[in-house]
């Protein structure tokens, strides 16, 4: 069978493009070469010509050695190869493909990401199980530790500008903080400090749906480097740690440990983060918060740190606006980030996602939101249950019901394009609001403009005649709104 004929046959069976299959056949040939004494990971990484194009000379070899010796757990390559070789779906009698070992290799690569979320979780579990001498119940720290290290290894493997040695130093200094929130969360899914495979699957599905992509992304970078497919859509969203474009009071440094836990909660959260609001840069003001986010259309993360150091967050994809009632969609969710990652997905029973008027509320009702930040930014409320989000403690017991905010930040996320579109929508909304306010200065009945500029109707518009001579609208150029001036 010619090489192209073989590729054509394999493309009918496996979820890869022809060019990718050609590369995988090179990897397989390298694995069969007994004279080549390189490790499993080194063989598959160096078999691609792209490895020398993106990282010239011996740089790729140096990085793989560093990944195996300093970043990934001892013996990971051997455990991965064994986990990839265990596939009950390999059909030895498949017509035209007689090499069962090739089948197992291709199926194993597909299981790392292209066969879906659950197969990648199975590979992760098996790697940990082999490392623990085939234990049926595993320590949560072993699983989370591997996934965190895979996310770092994926970054080191392909970035031409990555400082690999500095990354290793960061890994060693920040490891415990990066994993603690996730470890506590996964431990709660099992018993006596251990988890079963099914515990791990169920937990990942509800709390950390993006954690399987740590393996998928690492393998894709190792096999294909920065060459991402242009025609076929990946069956996984590449794992990316959030990259903050501005200093944060909550996430200490651009490589804050808690950002790994955040990235595991949704495929839309990774990548570039653009700061929309923070206490440090915009001041402690609900007016400034609203001005900073109103009109922004795109994925956003609201991050709230309490005076006790706990962190609760909300992720939403809807356009921010002021409204008397609730708005939002089922893409949004609340989550406790620290001390224990806990995700509160929508229940489908109610749709009270966001309420932005005199304060900022999520879930519950207008009288009693599940999470509420009043205009004063003091004496905030965090509840246990409502009909919009899954029940559970948004914060630990000593901060439930009432807490004070130490820091509050809102970040645009979802990637460069999403942020660019979100900022454009915000700018257009501001222009519309400014134009409406200027026009409102010249007419008697200003109530007709309330809906256009996204304000909530108040009695001041109903008593304008009584107010004339005592107060009048004036544009507040400094703060992008309006004020009442005494005359």
Considering the domain architecture, whether residues 325 and 398 belong to the same structural domain is answered as: yes
Considering the domain architecture, whether residues 141 and 127 belong to the same structural domain is answered as: yes
Above 70 in pLDDT, residue 94? no
**What letter would DSSP give residue 55?**
S
Domain stop point among 173, 197, 224: 224
pLDDT of residue 96: 44
Residue 311 in any domain: the answer is yes
Considering the domain architecture, whether residues 96 and 136 belong to the same structural domain is answered as: yes
Domains in the chain, number: 3
Considering the domain architecture, whether residues 8 and 37 belong to the same structural domain is answered as: yes
Residue 67 in any domain: the answer is yes
**6: pLDDT confidence band, cut at 50, 70 and 90?**
confident
Considering the domain architecture, whether residues 358 and 218 belong to the same structural domain is answered as: no
pTM above 0.75, yes or no: yes
Q: Choose between 481 and 91: higher pLDDT.
A: 481
Considering the domain architecture, whether residues 381 and 444 belong to the same structural domain is answered as: no
Considering the domain architecture, whether residues 211 and 268 belong to the same structural domain is answered as: no
Considering the domain architecture, whether residues 435 and 371 belong to the same structural domain is answered as: no
12-16, 382-386, 406-410: which range is least confident on average? 12-16
Considering the domain architecture, whether residues 370 and 479 belong to the same structural domain is answered as: no
pLDDT of residue 436: 86
pLDDT of residue 363: 97
Considering the domain architecture, whether residues 219 and 78 belong to the same structural domain is answered as: yes
Alpha-carbon distance of 200 to 187, in angstroms, equals 9
pLDDT of residue 166: 76
Provide φ and ψ at 436, rounded to 5°.
-65, -40
Q: What is the pLDDT of residues 303-334, one digit of tens each?
A: 999 999 999 999 999 999 999 999 999 999 99
Domain containing 104 equals 3-224
In sequence order, the 6+-apart residues with CB closer than 8 A to the CB of 343 are: 206, 207, 208, 265, 333, 334, 335, 390
pLDDT of residue 252: 78
């Amino acid at each position: 069978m010619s090489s192209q004929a073989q590729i054509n046959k394999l493309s009918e069976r496996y979820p890869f493009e022809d060019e990718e299959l050609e590369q995988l056949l090179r990897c397989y040939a390298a694995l069969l070469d007994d004279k080549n004494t390189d490790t499993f990971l080194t063989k598959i990484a160096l078999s691609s010509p792209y490895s020398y194009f993106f990282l010239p000379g011996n740089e790729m070899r140096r990085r793989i050695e560093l990944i195996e010796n300093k970043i990934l757990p001892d013996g990971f390559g051997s455990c991965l190869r064994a986990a990839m070789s265990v596939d009950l779906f390999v059909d030895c009698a498949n017509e035209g493909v007689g090499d069962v070992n090739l089948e197992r290799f291709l199926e194993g690569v597909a299981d790392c990401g292209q066969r879906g979320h659950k197969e990648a979780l199975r590979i992760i579990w098996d790697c940990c199980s082999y490392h623990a001498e085939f234990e049926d119940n595993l320590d949560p720290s072993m699983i989370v530790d591997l996934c965190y290290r895979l996310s770092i290894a994926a970054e080191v493997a392909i970035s031409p500008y990555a400082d690999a040695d500095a990354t290793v130093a960061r890994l060693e200094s920040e490891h415990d903080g990066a994993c603690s929130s996730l470890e506590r969360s996964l431990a709660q899914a099992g018993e006596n400090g251990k988890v079963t495979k099914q515990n791990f699957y169920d937990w990942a599905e509800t709390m950390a749906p993006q954690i399987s992509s740590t393996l998928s992304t690492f393998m894709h970078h190792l096999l294909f480097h920065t060459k991402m497919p242009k025609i076929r859509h990946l069956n996984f969203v590449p794992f990316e740690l959030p990259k903050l474009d501005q200093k944060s009071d909550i996430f200490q440094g651009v490589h804050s440990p808690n950002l790994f836990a955040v990235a595991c909660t949704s495929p839309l959260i990774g990548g570039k983060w653009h700061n929309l609001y923070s206490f440090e840069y915009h001041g402690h003001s609900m007016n400034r918060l609203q001005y900073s986010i109103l009109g922004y259309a795109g994925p956003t993360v609201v991050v709230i740190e309490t005076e006790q150091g706990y962190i609760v967050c909300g992720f939403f994809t809807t356009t921010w606006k002021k409204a008397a009632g609730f708005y939002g969609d089922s893409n949004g969710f609340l989550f406790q980030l620290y001390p224990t990652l806990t995700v509160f997905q929508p229940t489908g029973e109610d749709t009270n996602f966001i309420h932005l008027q005199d304060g900022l509320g999520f879930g519950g009702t207008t009288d009693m939101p599940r999470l509420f930040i009043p205009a004063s930014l003091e004496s905030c409320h965090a509840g246990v249950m409502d009909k919009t989000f899954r029940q559970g403690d948004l914060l630990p017991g000593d901060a439930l019901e009432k807490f004070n905010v130490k820091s509050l930040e809102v970040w645009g996320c979802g990637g460069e394009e999403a942020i660019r579109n979100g900022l454009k929508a915000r700018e257009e909304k501001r222009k519309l609001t400014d134009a409406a306010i200027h026009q409102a200065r010249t007419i008697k009945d200003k109530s007709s403009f309330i809906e256009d500029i996204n304000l909530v109707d108040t009695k001041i518009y109903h008593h304008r005649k009584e107010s004339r001579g005592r107060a009048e609208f004036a544009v507040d150029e400094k703060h992008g709104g309006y004020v009442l001036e005494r005359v």
